[in-house]
């Protein structure tokens, strides 16, 4: 079954930022859906915990230059 994670992401200045974060997350294995909202600095992700976890997702967001923290 899929799990859900919500991150707060700092540094997304425009909606194109949200697009690059969303693409980076979707390239990971085990991602079912990713929705990134630049206006609210939030990302909601559905993922399969056998393949990927919250920390891997967080690192992926940070690797492209944004600060991410898990909020739920
Ligand atoms: Mo918008 Mo974001 O011009 O890295 S794409 S600020």
pLDDT in tens, 5-33: 999 999 999 999 999 999 999 999 999 99
Average pLDDT in the 39-68 region? 98
Residue 35 pLDDT level (bands cut at 50, 70, 90): very high
CA of 23 from ligand 1 middle (Å) equals: 14
CATH of 3-70, one of 3.90.1150.10, 3.30.450.40, 3.30.70.100, 1.10.760.10: 3.30.70.100
Nearest residue by C-alpha to atom 2 in ligand 1: 17
Residue 67 pLDDT level (bands cut at 50, 70, 90): very high
Overall size of the chain counted in residues: 72
Beta strand segments in the chain, E: 3-10, 31-37, 42-47, 67-70
Kindly give the pairing relationship between strand 42-47 and strand 67-70: unpaired
Q: Is 14 in the pocket of ligand 1 (CB under 6 A)?
A: yes
Asked whether the whole model's pTM tops 0.90, one would answer yes
């Amino acid at each position: 079954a899929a799990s859900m994670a919500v991150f707060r992401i700092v540094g997304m200045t425009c909606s194109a930022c949200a697009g690059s974060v969303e693409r980076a997350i979707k390239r990971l294995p085990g991602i079912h859906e990713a929705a990134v909202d630049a206006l609210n600095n939030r990302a909601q992700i559905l993922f399969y915990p056998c393949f990927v976890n919250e920390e891997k997702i967080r690192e992926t967001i940070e690797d492209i230059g944004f600060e991410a923290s898990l909020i739920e």
